[in-house]
């Protein structure tokens, strides 16, 4: 049957009308995949994540600092810094008395925090909150709190390291210090300020995250020479000697689980090796992140140490981000590290408070 021109045009229009929605559906799906690689919901409400710390055992309440807002995997400041009006507005919305937050520790939910009050700091707003953690958080450790209903839904995974884990990591820590010119005498004064085992990617293999320090005190003396009297000159102390300053070697380390062959174990690392993977204790650990600092302490004694706070998967990619607290000159702040294809990278920083 031969179709007229008008009938042919009608048939073509019908076919095109059927194909266009299919093409649009495919394009939309592709855009969603590209925009949401972390598999987060496109319209998920922005979530607040805070650090909860219990600094004073005598006090029944914990301190809560707002650290980051998370929306579709993107991180942003909770409020503008140096803006008292914005801080007060934030406190009215997020730190109102009675507001509840889910508390997470080791990436999983362990309890709740209830805000009791808030107050202005030097450059921030703080809340006091009561925490019901079912005794799952040691008193000297910090945790995270969030108003999100989706973050921190995997089982909590954080514990003290075992003796073999500690031994393996300490071997690697000494490699790192030696590679950066630390003398054996100084290595004898190495101190561990924190070492925690936690599962960052949910594979059942625990990573170890730790902070270490070597502090060296230097002494100065005001010396003169005694006059030569019928014999060789001998030194004579004419002034007092005492401490004139200190230097620190701080290390923040993420040690990752590995299954390597003997040839992949680096052994003692040399000063020329800079890649984190160069440092290894052999199975089960290799260095994922090495943050090493060597500096002189100011007269006031403020250090620049980095301490692990906790971990939480913020963008839903299956690997938790690592929260740290950074010390500073009469101040402290928070940073977040993320595992990327090229290793661990700092992706976010905010001020905790500064006076």
Mean pLDDT for all residues in the chain: 80
- The answer on pLDDT for 129 being more than 80 is yes
- Give the C-alpha separation, 186 to 246, whole Å: 13
Per-residue confidence at 352, pLDDT binned at 50, 70, 90?
A: confident
- Give the C-alpha separation, 349 to 326, whole Å: 9
Question: Are the beta carbons of 52 and 62 closer than 8 angstroms?
Answer: yes
- Res 162: pLDDT: 95
> What's the predicted TM-score (pTM) here?
0.77
Per-residue confidence at 282, pLDDT binned at 50, 70, 90?
A: low
Per-residue confidence at 31, pLDDT binned at 50, 70, 90?
A: very low
- Res 278: pLDDT: 63
Which residues neighbour 17 within 8 Å (Cβ) at sequence distance 6 or greater? none
Per-residue confidence at 276, pLDDT binned at 50, 70, 90?
A: low
DSSP 180: T
For range 121-147, the mean pLDDT:
92
Per-residue confidence at 28, pLDDT binned at 50, 70, 90?
A: very low
- Res 84: pLDDT: 86
- Give the C-alpha separation, 336 to 68, whole Å: 9
- Res 121: pLDDT: 83
More confident residue, 121 or 182: 182
Query: Domains of the chain: which residue ranges?
Result: 47-146, 158-219+235-354
For range 260-264, the mean pLDDT:
48
Per-residue confidence at 319, pLDDT binned at 50, 70, 90?
A: very high
Which residues neighbour 168 within 8 Å (Cβ) at sequence distance 6 or greater? 255, 281, 282, 284, 285
Give 47-102 pLDDT, tens digit per residue.
999 999 987 767 788 999 999 999 998 999 999 888 888 889 999 999 999 999 99
For range 161-172, the mean pLDDT:
95
- Give the C-alpha separation, 112 to 309, whole Å: 18
Q: Of 191, 294, 212, 296, give the one whose Cα is nearest residue 246.
A: 296
% of the chain with per-residue pLDDT over 90:
59
**What's the number of CA atoms in the CB half-sphere (13 Å) around residue 101?**
34
Neighbour-count burial for 302-311, b at 16+ CB within 10 Å, e otherwise: ebebbbbbbb
């Amino acid at each position: 049957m031969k179709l007229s021109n008008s009938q042919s045009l009608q048939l073509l229009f019908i076919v095109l009308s059927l194909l266009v929605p299919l093409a649009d559906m495919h394009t939309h799906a592709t855009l969603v995949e590209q925009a949401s690689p972390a598999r987060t919901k496109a319209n998920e409400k922005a979530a607040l994540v805070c650090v909860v710390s219990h600094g004073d055992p005598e006090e029944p309440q914990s301190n809560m600092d707002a650290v980051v807002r998370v929306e579709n995997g993107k991180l942003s400041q909770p409020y503008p810094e140096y803006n008292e009006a914005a801080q007060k507005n934030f406190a009215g919305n997020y730190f109102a008395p009675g507001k509840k937050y889910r508390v997470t520790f080791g990436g999983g939910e362990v309890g709740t925090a209830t805000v009791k009050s808030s107050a202005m700091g030097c450059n921030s707003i703080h809340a006091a909150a009561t925490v019901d953690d079912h005794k799952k958080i040691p008193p000297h450790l910090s945790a995270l709190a969030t108003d999100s209903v989706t973050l921190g839904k995997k089982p909590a995974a954080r514990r003290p390291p075992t003796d073999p884990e500690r031994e393996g990591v300490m071997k690697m820590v000494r490699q790192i210090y030696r590679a950066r010119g630390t003398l054996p005498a100084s290595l004898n004064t190495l101190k561990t300020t924190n070492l925690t085992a936690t599962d960052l990617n949910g594979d059942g293999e625990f990573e170890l995250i730790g902070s270490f320090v070597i502090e060296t005190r230097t002494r100065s003396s005001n010396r003169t020479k005694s006059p030569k009297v019928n014999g060789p000159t001998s030194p004579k102390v004419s002034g007092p000697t005492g401490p004139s300053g200190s230097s620190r070697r701080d290390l923040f380390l993420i040690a990752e689980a590995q299954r390597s062959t003997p040839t992949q174990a680096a052994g003692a690392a040399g000063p020329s090796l800079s890649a984190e993977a160069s440092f290894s204790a052999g199975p089960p650990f290799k260095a994922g992140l090495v943050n090493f600092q060597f500096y002189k302490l100011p007269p006031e004694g403020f250090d620049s140490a980095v301490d692990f706070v906790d971990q939480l998967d913020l963008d839903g990619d299956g690997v938790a981000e690592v929260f740290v607290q950074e010390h500073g000159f009469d101040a402290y702040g928070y940073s977040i590290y993320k595992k990327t294809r090229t290793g661990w990278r700092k992706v976010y920083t905010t001020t905790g408070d500064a006076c």
